[in-house]
Amino acid sequence: MGESVEDIEVVRRIKNGDIEAFSILVEKYHNHLLNFIYRLTGDVDIVEDIGQEVFLSVYKSLRNFDDNRGTPFSAWLFITSRNRCISEMRKKGNRKFIPLDEKTLRDKRTCY
């Protein structure tokens, strides 16, 4: 995935009105984000919906992202995703604990 100055430049382009540039970030992080959401929720049926909601939420609040603070865009994206997943699990009363041992990870992997 690799965080880079590239992400900061793309964020700056978006903030300066280049809305098409957001597709660069979506393409770069889409698969990683969906896998992350699946690992947190364990529910393949909600992965795409949460992923879309997260990207929309991040896009709408991008003006609040301060690229001068040193926080990588990817960290902000995945923290937003984690928080959305927690909200979804609370809403559903779904408090599964998914062990993160190596065997479980091999068995639960999906192809996104």
The class that CATH gives domain 5-108 is mainly alpha
pLDDT band at 61 (very low <50, low <70, confident <90, very high): very high
pTM over 0.85: no
- Spell out the domain ranges in the chain: 5-108
pLDDT of amino acid 94: 54
Instruction: Decide: 61 and 54 in contact? Cβ < 8 Å.
Output: no
Query: Could you tell me the pLDDT band of residue 46, with boundaries at 50, 70 and 90?
Result: very high
Q: Distance between CA atoms of 23 and 86, rounded to whole angstroms?
A: 26
Predicted confidence (pLDDT) per residue in 4-19, tens digit: 669 999 999 999 999 9
Is pLDDT above 70 for 2? no
Mean pLDDT, range 47-58, rounded to an integer: 96
